[in-house]
A = this chain, B = another copy of it.
Amino acid sequence: MTTRNMEDYLETIWNLQHKKGYVKAKDIAERLEVSRPSVSGMIKKLSENSYILYEKYGGIVFTEKGKKLAQEIKRRHSLLVEFLKIIGVSEENAQTDACKLEHDVSPETITSLLGFVDFISLLPESSKWKENFQEYLKKSLLERSSNKKKNYKEKYWGRENKKI
């Protein structure tokens, strides 16, 4: 099985490959803000599990298996970013959240998210869904930060406590 960490390394390798055209252990360390020995260790692990091929002082390349997994992770990441932006999360936060969430979403949730994103993108211009939603978000944020805070909380916890 692959761990969350292995996935992070694979994704980083993928990104470096597409940004610089080659991948060195040093660059991975920089990107992930981790020591070089840590990278050495993970490279060894990923090699042993046949996700990558590695030559000291040379570079890293994906095996078919590794490429497939890296693409899959990338796909989840992009989907999450796209979704988060639709619901109004900033680009920056969307990126960092996607990095964390991408390891945990089940296939069913991926499918549903994909459906949602597609559905929204198919809305006719005339629907103004996004504008309406954005406006609603802005408004509810304002209200929340001022006087209606209490109201909202009661509503929320009232619902929740019944379930328990």
Contacts and interface: CB of A to CB of B under 8 A. Distances in A.
A71 B45 CA distance: 39
A56 interface: no
Given A122-B153, A123-B157, A141-B115, A129 B89 contact: no
Contacts of A126: 162
Contacts of A151: 122
A140 B118 contact: yes
A137 B128 CA distance: 21
A108 B93 contact: yes
A93 B106 contact: yes
**What is the copy number of this chain in the assembly?**
2
Contact of A141 (B94, B111, B122): B111
A133 B140 CA distance: 24
Contacts of A127: 157, 161-164
B108 A89 contact: yes
Interface residues of A, number: 53
A47 interface: no
Given A18-B164, A97-B104, A164-B18, A136 B153 contact: no
A75 interface: yes
A156 B122 contact: yes
A160 interface: yes
18 contacts: A19-B164, A74-B160, A78-B160, A84-B112, A88-B112, A88-B115, A90-B108, A93-B108, A96-B106, A118-B136, A119-B156, A122-B151, A122-B153, A122-B156, A123-B157, A127-B162, A127-B164, A132-B164
